[in-house]
Amino acid sequence: MIRVFNSFVFQRAALSAAFLAGFSCISGCSSDNADGQAAGGSSPKPNDAAGSPSTSEAGGAPAGEVSGLFALGSVVIGADDTRQTYLQTLRSLEDGPFGTENAIEMPGNGVFLAQGDSVFAGLAEEPTWVRYTSDREGKLTETGRLSFLDYGLSSMDYGNAIVSDEIAVSVLSKPAVAVVWNPQTMEITREIDLGYLVVPGYDLENWTTIAHEGLVYVPGRWANWEDGKVRNGVSTTILDPVKGEVVGVAEDDRCASGGRVVFDEAGYAYVMGDGRNYSIQMFANAAGEAAPDNCILRIAPGETDFEEDFFYTVPSLTGGLQSITELDTARQGSGLAFARMFDPSKLPDGVEAVDFGFWSEPAHKTWRIELGDPPVAKPVDGLPYAAIGFDSMAFRGQLYTGESVDGGATSDVYEVDPDANHGELRFKMTGYFNGLYELRVK
């Protein structure tokens, strides 16, 4: 039965990898900004949004900078599974719904990073970062390019993070290397060998690489889409991009395929083994085998390995539901994480979780997880059941999540208050929501 959906797996791989990158690239292939958030995610303190320095409590810009100028990313997937990536600037989130007629169009499933007055677009048809810089009116102009062609790539990979004004990291799965580059000069400065992450018979996936307090956290996930296999085990590599070295590698075999690291106030680092976004469970379902549980692990402050006495299965926290995305957060260090849970009872008659087709059904809902010992999980009030899309984005201390009930033709973007655990519809847009950034333009 696995062979029956092999071709579909390849068609959806870019979809599932992006969000979750490894997401095949929809729930998975988003890029990550400083302090561990995917493109549009939270940035290192004291920054608040997508790599931009924090503004005032009222949301205003620092002196001399334009207030209320944003960049919005989206991906539109055609009926034949072709993808187009779009980038546009907005004056107000109240001006929606937002189409794509005024956006820069890029072929394929691109990735984004953002910093200051610029958005960096990682292209899908060539291994290049393109820097687009905004003026005070919101006009985007190309101001630099950085090619990774010498690494033998055909497109930019998905594991990326901005660490500081002068340090960004792109983690490549083939070859397995972390490339450190300067967002200001658009030059490569050093490399960190990650050859130990190569596992024969599996493809390495490393999206949702994050930066936090100067270090970079790289998830290691392995899948073989031809044979329908996800490698068991959770792996998190910790890098120091300034020294150009591996600080440590945390590994655990109690569950499979962990993703983004989320920190609590005490400095514990939590990782969810999500089975490569439920893929390990999907393959088991298709083969008529027992599906393993997803789980939550953690690394103690100052340590580089998972705690042996900390282990919680996701179904034990949710009343039996499995997670279908990895952990996300609106504010690193808050101890409040989010993940989507899959409810098989919401699938239409005749649809089963045995191929990626069920991702397009409104059978998934976002939950908040209060990280601790034990974690506490609750559904987010005000959010609908929706299809699986790209990552949520941390923005001004809130979580913005695109919920699509029509399989990705349009998205309703909700603003989630982490403390209240409540979501409100903020705007509507064409395609899948794939990035929201506050631009810092002087």
Q: Which of 42-46, 223-227, 425-429 has the lowest mean pLDDT?
A: 42-46
DSSP 225: T
Residue 106: which residues within 8 A CB-CB, separation 6 or more? Answer: 84, 85, 86, 87, 121, 123, 124
Q: What is the pLDDT of residue 7?
A: 30
Work out the percent of the chain whose per-residue pLDDT is above 90. 81
pLDDT of 40 above 60: no
The predicted-structure confidence for 103-135, as pLDDT tens digits, reads as follows: 999 999 999 999 999 999 999 999 999 999 999
Q: What is the pLDDT of residue 269?
A: 98
Q: What is the pLDDT of residue 421?
A: 98
Query: Model confidence at 390, in pLDDT bands (50, 70, 90)?
Result: confident
The predicted-structure confidence for 276-325, as pLDDT tens digits, reads as follows: 999 999 999 999 999 999 999 999 999 999 999 999 999 999 999 999 99
**382 burial class (0-12, 13-18, 19+ CB within 10 angstroms)?**
middle
The predicted-structure confidence for 331-368, as pLDDT tens digits, reads as follows: 999 999 999 999 999 999 999 999 999 999 999 999 99
Q: Domain residue spans in the chain?
A: 2-117+200-438
Q: What is the pLDDT of residue 245?
A: 98
Pairwise CA distance, residues 432 & 389, whole Å:
6
